[in-house]
Structure 1
């Protein structure tokens, strides 16, 4: 079994992982944090798919996809924080002036869970961000302390999952999901650091 992680440039593969069964249905399509809230609320049905299709043709694309024997089985949203709503999010702090990338959503296709795909998605996201010159990458998972997380809310990942990938806790946040606090996890990718902001 070989898992390969590639940039999300193929819209049909993104749609397989994130899209609705009925094209006119409204689903997140992983746009909630990627675009402004006003635009996100305004986009309905097929307009959401059209917007994702546009993002797949941008550089960088909206995330990465895990493939198992060329079949799309997992998704991770990863992008420079400055171009996401996390740039303005008051609940999740900026800990310094680095032009960090954010990794905020992990989805594994039903039938493919517990095969290491989430781990591969994080590793692939880190490798992609580093290749694109990111000085560091952040995630905002729940600190569930081993307790079970509702699958619907598990898209942010867990602190343990990010720690297994080498991330360390950099800050608490004011965000709570499914009753669990979210923490800011950071992985330095080897670029020089700028002065820290006071928080």
Structure 2
């Protein structure tokens, strides 16, 4: 049995062709391109898939970049979106993720989604992506990282498409704690960073 090496790094203009391979697999990511939380519902419906793809291309070409990419050996296998909470206008409008009194806002980064290629699932890719997302946020000045996972322990029938936020157990394995449960199947989880 051969050993495989996983690595995660911030996505860049240079890694864009590899990121396109991750998003080019069948599934919702091939049309969303991680723009759902960036746009209003009307804006999202008014954009084409090509426009969303171009938007992510621009968001991964700047600094800090909009997320991290994972490779298994030299093959791109996954992506996680992570940016300051303020970069995601949709989070503030959602009843699940909007701010409540006392919630952090400054220096808060949000991990909003995971994309793992179908042929690379069940290999720990999401766990590595979450670790890479936390390190990217930390190195960019975040003091708190927040996630919005689903809880298949409450509803085991959650589809793979519904798990793009990550799962409660994934975030727990990364050191995150549940701070509130806005619905039976969703949690707000946070990790404080020592910067």
TM-score when normalising by structure 2:
0.84
CA deviations over 1:10-32 (Å, ceiling 9, x no partner): 222222112467xxxx7111111
- The one of 8, 11, 14 equivalent to 2:16 is 11
Task: Extract unaligned runs of 5+ from structure 1.
Answer: 175-179, 192-199
Q: Pairwise mapping of residues 137-148 of structure 1 onto structure 2 (< 5 A)?
A: 137-145=145-153, 147-148=156-157
Instruction: Tell me if structure 2 keeps the 8 A contact 1:93–1:173.
Output: no
Q: Which residue of 1 aligns with 2:169?
A: 160
Instruction: Tell me if structure 2 keeps the 8 A contact 1:19–1:27.
Output: no
Per the alignment, in what secondary structure is the counterpart of residue 161 of structure 1?
A: helix
User: 1:121 deviation in Å?
Assistant: 0.5
Q: Which residue of 2 aligns with 1:183?
A: 187
Instruction: Tell me if structure 2 keeps the 8 A contact 1:102–1:139.
Output: yes
1:111 aligns with 2:114: no
Per the alignment, in what secondary structure is the counterpart of residue 138 of structure 2?
A: helix
User: 1:135 deviation in Å?
Assistant: 0.5
1:27 aligns with 2:31: yes
Per the alignment, in what secondary structure is the counterpart of residue 103 of structure 1?
A: strand
Q: 1: CA distance between counterparts of 2:162 and 2:23?
A: 15
Instruction: Tell me if structure 1 keeps the 8 A contact 2:92–2:98.
Output: no
Instruction: Tell me if structure 2 keeps the 8 A contact 1:19–1:49.
Output: no
Per the alignment, in what secondary structure is the counterpart of residue 98 of structure 1?
A: coil
User: 1:148 deviation in Å?
Assistant: 4.2
Q: Pairwise mapping of residues 68-107 of structure 1 onto structure 2 (< 5 A)?
A: 68-84=72-88, 85-94=90-99, 95-107=103-115
1:48 aligns with 2:13: no
TM-score when normalising by structure 1:
0.83
User: 1:168 deviation in Å?
Assistant: 0.3
Task: Extract unaligned runs of 5+ from structure 2.
Answer: none
Per the alignment, in what secondary structure is the counterpart of residue 56 of structure 2?
A: helix
Number of corresponding residues: 182
Q: Which residue of 1 aligns with 2:68?
A: 64
Q: Which residue of 1 aligns with 2:133?
A: 125
